[in-house]
Structure 1
C-alpha cells in the first residue's frame, strides 16, 4: 500500500480532462455525416449495395457508441464535481476543527 496508508488520492484534473476528452469524442461522432450519401457516387451495383449495408450498420453502431461515450463523459463530470464537493467539505471541517474556540463554549 505504500506510505499513503488508507488515504485515497484523486487527480481531479485528470478526471475533468477525461470528461472533456470524452465529450470531444462524442461531438466528433455526432458530426460524422451519414455514409449513405456516398453510395450514389458509386452508381448501381454490388459496391454501392455493400456501402449501403455498411452505412446502415455503422449508423446503428455509431449511435450506440455515442450514447455510451456520452454516459461516460457525464459520469466523469459528476465524479469530479462530487470529489470537489467532498474536498471542500473536508477542508471546511478541518478549518472548523483548527479554529480557536471561544471562551463562551
Structure 2
C-alpha cells in the first residue's frame, strides 16, 4: 500500500509539472483590466505555490518508496527467521 502511494504521488507530481502557466493566457478574455490584474496575481501565486507543492509531493513520494522497500526487506527477514525457527530451510542456512 505504501509503495502504491509512492507511485501515485509520482503521478500527481507529473500532473502538476504538466500544468501550463496561467498568467498571460487569459488577460484579454476578462474584459475588465482590474479583473484581469486580479487573475494575473492569482496565476502568479498559483505558479509559485504549485512549484513548492510539486517539490513536497516529490519528497513524500520518495519517502513512501524508501519506506515500502524497508518494510519489504524487514518482512522478508522476518519470514526467513520464522522458517528457520520452524526447522524449515532458509536461503541463509548453511549445512
TM-score by length of 1: 0.71
Deviations 1:18-59 (A, max 9, x none): 111111111110100000131444377222212211111001
Picking from 89, 92, 95, the partner of 2:77 is 89
1:69 equivalenced with 2:57 (yes/no) = yes
Q: Is contact 1:29-1:62 (8 Å) kept?
A: yes
1:24 equivalenced with 2:7 (yes/no) = no
TM-score by length of 2: 0.77
Aligned to 1:53: 41
Extract structure 1 runs of 4+ deviating beyond 3 A: 39-44
Alignment root-mean-square deviation, CA: 2.2
1:99 shift after superposition: 4.1
1:80 equivalenced with 2:62 (yes/no) = no
State how far apart, in whole Å, the 1-side matches of 2:59 and 2:72 are. 20
State how far apart, in whole Å, the 1-side matches of 2:3 and 2:77 are. 19
1:33 equivalenced with 2:20 (yes/no) = yes
